Amino acid sequence: MSAAAIEVGALAKVFGGLAAVDGVSLTVAAGERRVLIGPNGAGKTTLFHCITGTLRPTRGSVRLFGRDVTQDAEHRRTALGMGRTFQITNVFPELTLGENLALAIVGTDRRKWVVHRPMEAFESVRHQALESLERVGLEGRADQPAKLVSYGERRQLELALALNTKPKVLFLDEPCAGLSPAERQRISKMIAGLPRDITLLMIEHDMDVALGLADRVTVLHQGRVILEGTPDEVRANAQVRDVYFGHA
């Protein structure tokens, strides 16, 4: 039996006297689409940061594909097949869409040490960047500066950047935050179309988006898991309605 993609055991993160994450345990199977939901301040992003290595947990454990990575730096987890996006867009606005992707591609292999050749010399890099843009619906936009595209298109670019590392597990932190209804629908469709060999763990505040994409849902409140189940079980749970909509 293959190891789970993500295993979190009794994870906690304490800031001063506040437990932002308080004893969270969860297991995400390989190929599963798991969504974390909960009201603002529930600890979702802090949990994400602890799993991906942005923050060091106060206690507990994190395993990726059976390997204990609790003390590993973020780049080491990336080398194991982790990709992620952030709640706030994280691209270089002065670079074009193609340059953003090319920089990410070169940064993941030995070509990053070749400092005396212009980017145009790496034809394979540009080809890969163009393919990545096409994959997220931004074909024909390679030469457009990132600062001139819409917020939703920046989100599409971020998804392309995350997929560029060929991740085995992908962490998406509110990919639909701040988007118009049409943009949310477009991003949701892209996420739904990701191949099933990519395990997905996603934070999403929009309940319709979250429950429409998830195989299983984990509900957080005040740093703790209050329910884990199918989208239908979450919809039917009175406690989730009280906690989630009472704090929305």
Shared domain check, 63 and 129: no
At residue 129, the pLDDT reads: 86
What does the H/E/C string look like for 177-190? CCCCHHHHHHHHHH
Structurally, the chain folds into a number of domains equal to: 2
Lookup: tokens for 122: 């790496």
Write the pLDDT tens digit of every residue in 26-54: 999 999 999 999 988 899 999 999 999 99
Shared domain check, 178 and 239: yes
Residue that finishes a domain, picked among 132, 149, 166: 166
Please say if the pLDDT value at position 248 is more than 50: no
At residue 73, the pLDDT reads: 92
At residue 112, the pLDDT reads: 46
Shared domain check, 97 and 64: no
Write the pLDDT tens digit of every residue in 228-239: 999 999 999 998
Per-residue DSSP letters for 18-86? EEEEEEEEEEE-TT-EEEEE-STTSSHHHHHHHHHTSS--SEEEEEETTEE-TT--HHHHHHTTEEE--
Domain containing residue 37: CATH number: 3.40.50.300
Out of 158-167, 184-193, 224-233, the most confident range is 224-233
At residue 84, the pLDDT reads: 84
Task: Assign 206 a pLDDT band (cuts: 50, 70, 90).
Answer: confident
Residue that finishes a domain, picked among 117, 148, 166: 166
> Higher model confidence: residue 78 or residue 63?
63
Write the pLDDT tens digit of every residue in 67-94: 999 999 988 898 888 988 765 566 888 8
Q: How many residues does the chain have?
A: 248
Compute the average pLDDT of residues 201-211.
90
Shared domain check, 161 and 199: no
Domain extent, residue 210, equals 1-81+168-248
Shared domain check, 73 and 174: yes
At residue 234, the pLDDT reads: 93
Residue pair 152/187 in contact (Cβ under 8 Å)? The answer is: yes
Compute the average pLDDT of residues 108-119.
50
Compute the average pLDDT of residues 153-157.
88
Please say if the pLDDT value at position 219 is more than 70: yes
Residue that finishes a domain, picked among 166, 190, 223: 166
